C-alpha cells in the first residue's frame, strides 16, 4: 500500500525508532511492501528515489528499504565508519521534495543488519551508496539532512522532475 511520506516539520520525523523484535516479524512483510509501494509511487511522481526509512511513512521501527540493482531490507541496522575520510554533497529527501541541503558525509561505511529472515548480514558501502544509507540511517534516530547542514547558507530550492 502506498503510504503518505511525512513532511519536514512533522514531529514524528524527529523521534527515535524502536528495534524490531521477533514479535514484530509477522508485520515485516507488510511494512516492506508499504515501503516498496511508497518508493515506487515517489519515483513515478518525481523521477527520483532509491531508499526509504520506515519512520518516513509513520512506522517507528528500525527498518530501511533500498532498491538499486535489487531490493535490500535492513532490519535493526548498525552503521560504522572504517575511516575519517569525508566529502561534501548536496542532499535531498523525500520528506522535503525540492529542498537541497549541503551536508558532509563519510565516504565509506559498514552496515551490520538483519535481513527479512532475521539472519545477520554485513555490507560495505562507498561513495553514493555510503551517503544514501547514512541519510536513511539518520531517519531511524530522528535526524534529518536539514539538521546536518554545513551552515545556515547550505539550503537550495530545486524543481523536481514530475514525470519520468
Active site residues: 136
Place of cell 565509506: 108
Q: Which residues contact 49 (CB under 8 A, 6 or more apart)?
A: 39, 42, 43, 94
CA pair distance 61, 17, nearest whole angstrom: 5
- Lookup: cell for 11: 514531529
Compute the distance between CA of residue 55 and CA of residue 53 in angstroms, rounded to an integer: 6
Amino acid at each position: 500500500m502506498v503510504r503518505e511520506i511525512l513532511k519536514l516539520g512533522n514531529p514524528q520525523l524527529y523521534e527515535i525508532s524502536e528495534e524490531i523484535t521477533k514479535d514484530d516479524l509477522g508485520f515485516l512483510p507488510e511494512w516492506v511492501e508499504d515501503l516498496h509501494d511508497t518508493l515506487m509511487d515517489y519515483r513515478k511522481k518525481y523521477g527520483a528515489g532509491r531508499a526509504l526509512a520506515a519512520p518516513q511513512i509513520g512506522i517507528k521501527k528500525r527498518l530501511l528499504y533500498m532498491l538499486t540493482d535489487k531490493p535490500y531490507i535492513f532490519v535493526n541496522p548498525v552503521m560504522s565508519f572504517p575511516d575519517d575520510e569525508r566529502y561534501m554533497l548536496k542532499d535531498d529527501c523525500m520528506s522535503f521534495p525540492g529542498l537541497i541541503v549541503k551536508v558532509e558525509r563519510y565516504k565509506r561505511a559498514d552496515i551490520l543488519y538483519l535481513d527479512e529472515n532475521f539472519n545477520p548480514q554485513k555490507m560495505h558501502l562507498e561513495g553514493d551508496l555510503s551517503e544514501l544509507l547514512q541519510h536513511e540511517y539518520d531517519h531511524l534516530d530522528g535526524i534529518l539532512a536539514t539538521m546536518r547542514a554545513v551552515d545556515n547558507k547550505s539550503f537550495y530550492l530545486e524543481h523536481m522532475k514530475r514525470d519520468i
